[in-house]
Amino acid sequence: MKEENFKKQIISKVEIFLKEITQKPTDVNSKTIFSSLNDLEYFFEILTNYIQDERLNLNLEGMEITSQSKKRLDNAERLFKFTRNEFSDIKKIISENTNLDQSQLNLIKNKFESYIYPKLLWIFDDEDSIELTALKHLYDLGEID
């Protein structure tokens, strides 16, 4: 699978999530929402692991890490680690409420839009971002299919 297909998977999961979350409360399938969030969280975990591996490889190879590169690695790693808490926060709302009402759906949607969506834009927007570089590298190595 190519990087483009991986991006399509992410977009697909976001579409599933948003389609489900914008339905009438009686039509919402919380398992579908939960599943799409789990998949998105997994994609972010892949990127976090890559960033940690990249830092380790640079250190093992004795390469000098510039302060700018270190800052980018630190920020990207911190961002993706923090995303775990954000996914957990959203999933907690779903798991604590078997029948989601409109206010809970709005809360979930708002949290997604403020927590997760900006990070997705960051991944897809900057062609030179460490995240996109991570995806390209993982595909080149065949670690993601």
Q: What is the pTM of this model?
A: 0.73
Number of domains in the chain: 1
| pLDDT computed for residue 132 by the predictor | 60
Give the separation between CA 39 and CA 37, rounded to whole angstroms: 5
Print the domain residue range for 112. Answer: 3-141
For residue 84, give the 3-state DSSP assignment: helix
| pLDDT computed for residue 34 by the predictor | 92
Backbone angles phi, psi at 70, to 5 degrees: -60, -45
User: Which region holds residue 8: left if phi is over 0, alpha if psi is between -120 and 50, else beta?
Assistant: alpha
Name residues of the chain where pLDDT drops below 70. 1-3, 55, 59-60, 122-123, 125-145
CA distances from 59 to 33, 68, 143 (A): 40, 15, 21
| pLDDT computed for residue 61 by the predictor | 72
